[in-house]
Structure 1
Amino acid sequence: MAQQILDGIQVLDFTTYIAGPYGASLLGDLGADVIKIEAPEGDPMRYYPSTLPGESRAFIGVNRNKRSIVLDLKQPADREACHRLVAQADVVLHNFRPGVAGRLALDCDTLTAIQPRLIYCSFTGYGPDGPQAQRPGFDQVLQCRTGIAKAQGYPGDEPRVVWGSAVDFYGASLIATGICAALFQRERTGLPQRVDTSLLQAALAMQAGRMVWAEDEGPGVDRDLRGGALSGIHPTREGYVYLQAQTQPFWEALCELTGLAHLARDPRFADMRLRKANEAELVPQLRAALMQRGAREWEAIFGTRVPCTVVRGIEEVFDDEQVEHQGLLATHAHPTLGSYRAVVEPIRFNGERGVKREARAPMLGEHTVQVVGGAG
């Protein structure tokens, strides 16, 4: 097995729900040894509503590449065991609200006194301080607070959240990026690092293309990134197709392949801004042409000339030929499910896929004896 980037790095993961756990899983993808430390009742995400018998689909999906141990950090003996693990660790990651870590003797000062080279990462809802720091934060709460929910749909539509925990997963990427950068800096300096990020930071960062307010702009400006209704989901004779044909070569190919070549020569649609300004005349003509065939036929016709896709359900992705060719899913044995297929590491180095010792999500406390006994 090829050595992975973070081989030899041990991560203690105290996080729950999605963003923190998935951030730790991303480190596990890179080869880190991730130990998930859970309270006796376990991560609440284990009990999230799910159609899987006796298991949580979300928990399994975001907790790959880990071992699980149970410690009751309110008990002195378990707290001492935790500190013994810290002494051997490289990274501690938690998502406690500000002040909670201190009450559990897991604050940065306490732990860096135990392990002077520790990377200490705190992920919160609103940041470590400030007037809103104590508020509980969840993905959809931050979507509604930061304008994401209002930006969905079209003007006049009711606000709607983006399902799929987009802010959580972007927050996970910030966690993994920050920890990797801190580990790199530690190699340079030998010093510990504190990393702080939050759902609020993730929700703003993922809207960088909207979060621009020029000096002379007033309120009520359209800040969306949409280039017009030409790019979007369109009905066909059978199913739906998504098209992205804003740039001139794609636009001209779209006109040619749909039998609307005359539109490419129409001065009303000569460039991207004009096409958006005159979309009320343009889009009905495009949709009438698209109704002549089914979505899969159009996908084949457009090929590499027009960015497009059939609008698929997630179950279809499990058998997607490109997903299969890239090896983006793997089958894992599981004590109660028998086996399941799930996403594997999303990054490769030198074209090689990492091979993990234990990639499936762990059962609650499955490795307590192994890990805590080994640290004693």
Structure 2
Amino acid sequence: MSKDSAPLAGIVVVSVEQAISAPFATRQLADLGATVIKIERPEGDFARHYDSLVKGNSAFFVWANVGKQSVAIDLRNPDDERLLKKLIAGADVFIHNMSPAAAIGRGIDADTLRAEYPKLIVCAISGYGPDGPRSDDKAYDLAIQAEAGAFSVTGDEAMSKVGFSVADISAGMYALTSVLAALVRRDRTGEGASIHVSMLEALAEWLSAPLYAATYGTGQAPRTGRRHHAIAPYGTFQLSDGRTILIAVQSDGEWQSLASALLKNSSLGIDQRFLTNSDRLANVVELEVLISDQLASISAHEAMDRLSAGRIAVARVNDLAGVWQHEQLRVRGHFHEVQTEHGPVELLDPPFDISGWVRPSSSVPGLNEHDPEILAAIMRRAEN
């Protein structure tokens, strides 16, 4: 399968990026076949130095930077600044996660660039957006989790953060989808686009359901830990062998199936205490005791078999080692070897599975590691 079969073959993306939000978006674009030029400060993206756990590489950096070309540029140096602007001139898409004021100060904000290059798609990712009272405030993932209300719905009695970079990822995903939509529109109209993605707005959108429930309902719901706040039974249970599983019931019919398949008591399916979801929520402690008592005498394997036979959603509660060895991910072939400056590592692929296209081999670039021919081709595009 040729490289030209990649969905974004021929698309050039230049990105002034660091940390996670913009690198995560451009990693997906690179995986889809775009040529991504990662612009780094001379000392490198600081995510390179978060840790050295992946055979000498940072876990964060290898995750978010597969398949890119690295170019080290000092934006305080006039020659380097001219190089950046020439690369942008040869690009289809320019992305950055600088503050709005910093982008304007460097002359690489959307208004300035699109006045000169009307077909260019410019995507700016920031903490709070290009205007408003917080527009130039520094923003990192946990700060946005706090601002967007994620802490207030996560954990048990004590609030907790989400255990991964959910604010960065949400912004990166909206940047990705916005860029893809802008590319489709440009094919139709010939016009570029100015895109602004706010981490706060992205994560607040992901929290819309609890936000609406709190606003239009009875106020802030209590944190429910590993139990669903609005559906029952939907939570974790321990088995006789010490394993933990999650059981999820979405309808009254599924509850009746659970009563028969797992509890071996079909009359519970029509018990007035548990007849509807509202009833089950009102009696959730009693309900979970019934389920826990049944599960305490059987193994995880037997419970999984019973629940699967009854078409009830059930999942093992895996640690990260369990995910790394997950048979479904392995059978589906979602791992591949990637080259890094410290040697080959095995990484998990993004979940794109598009017919007629096979991912080419790729690498994680060292600082300023790039193919000179690729940069030369972009320069020629700029001249034309």
Regarding TM over 0.5, the answer is yes
Answer yes or no: is 1:249 the counterpart of 2:271: no
Structure 2 match to 1:269: 274
Deviates most, 71-80 or 245-254: 245-254
Whether 1:141 and 2:143 are equivalent positions in the alignment is yes
Distance 1:231 1:217 in 2: 21
Q: Is the 8 A contact 2:236 2:245 kept in 1?
A: yes
- Identify if the C-alpha distance between structure 1 residues 169 and 354 changes in structure 2 by more than 3 Å, giving closer, same or farther: farther
- SS of the equivalent of 1:205 reads helix
Give the distance between the partners of 1:140 and 1:83, measured in 2 at CA. 33
8 Å contact kept, 1:37–1:70: yes
Residues 1:222 and 1:212: Cα distance change in structure 2 (over 3 Å) = farther
- Residue 229 of structure 2 corresponds to 226
Deviations 1:51-105 (A, max 9, x none): 3353201110111121111111111111111121112100000010111012223
Give structure 1 stretches of 5+ with no counterpart: none
Provide the alpha-carbon RMSD of the alignment.
Answer: 2.2
| 1:331 to 2:333 alignment | no
Helix, strand or coil at the partner of 2:209 = coil
Does 2:208 correspond to 1:208?
A: yes
The residue aligned with 1:161 is: 161
Q: Is the 8 A contact 2:341 2:365 kept in 1?
A: no
User: 1:29·1:354 contact (CA, 8 Å) conserved in 2?
Assistant: no
Q: Which residue of 1 aligns with 2:172?
A: 172
Assess, with a 3 A threshold, how the Cα gap between structure 1 residues 57 and 264 changes in structure 2: closer, same or farther: same
- 1:259: Cα distance to partner? 3.0
Q: Deviations over 1:237-296 (max 9, x none)?
A: 121001101312321222222234132131111111111111121111110111112223
Which residue of structure 1 aligns with residue 367 of structure 2? 364
AA of the residue aligned to 1:211: L
**Which residue identity lines up with residue 244 of structure 2 in the other structure?**
Y
| Correspondence list, 1:74-223, <5 A | 74-154=76-156, 157-212=157-212, 219-220=219-220
Cα offset for 1:299? 1.8
Deviation at 1:170, TM superposition (A): 1.7
Residues 373 and 246 of structure 1, relative CA distance in 2, 3 Å threshold: closer
Quick one: structure 1 residues 315 and 360, their matched pair in 2 at CA, closer, same or farther if it must change by over 3 Å? farther
Q: Is the 8 A contact 1:86 1:115 kept in 2?
A: no
For residue 5 of structure 1, report the CA deviation from its aligned partner. 1.7
Q: Aligned residue for 1:318?
A: 324
Are the counterparts in 1 of residues 152 and 223 from structure 2 also a CA contact under 8 Å?
Answer: no
Give the C-alpha shift of residue 216 in structure 1.
Answer: 6.8
1:343-362 alignment to 2 at 5 Å? 343-350=348-355, 352-356=356-360, 358-362=361-365
Q: Is the 8 A contact 2:155 2:161 kept in 1?
A: no
How far apart are residue 140 of structure 1 and its match? 1.2
Q: Match of 1:258?
A: 262
Q: 1:139, 1:167 within 8 Å by CA — same for their partners in 2? A: yes
Q: Which residue of 1 aligns with 2:305?
A: 300
Give the CA deviation at 1:321.
2.1
Deviations 1:160-193 (A, max 9, x none): 0001112211211101000011111111221221
TM-score, normalised relative to structure 1 = 0.92
Q: Aligned equivalents of 1:101 and 1:215: distance in 2?
A: 36
Instruction: Compute the displacement of 1:137 (Å).
Output: 1.1
Q: Hey, what's the Cα distance between the residues in 1 that align with 2:22 and 2:138?
A: 15
**Identity across aligned pairs (percent)?**
29
Structure having the higher helix fraction is: 2
Q: Give the Cα–Cα distance (whole angstroms) in 2 for the partners of residues 353 and 139 of structure 1.
A: 34
Match of 1:342 among 335, 339, 347: 347
Contact conserved, 2:232 with 2:280, CA < 8 A, in 1? no
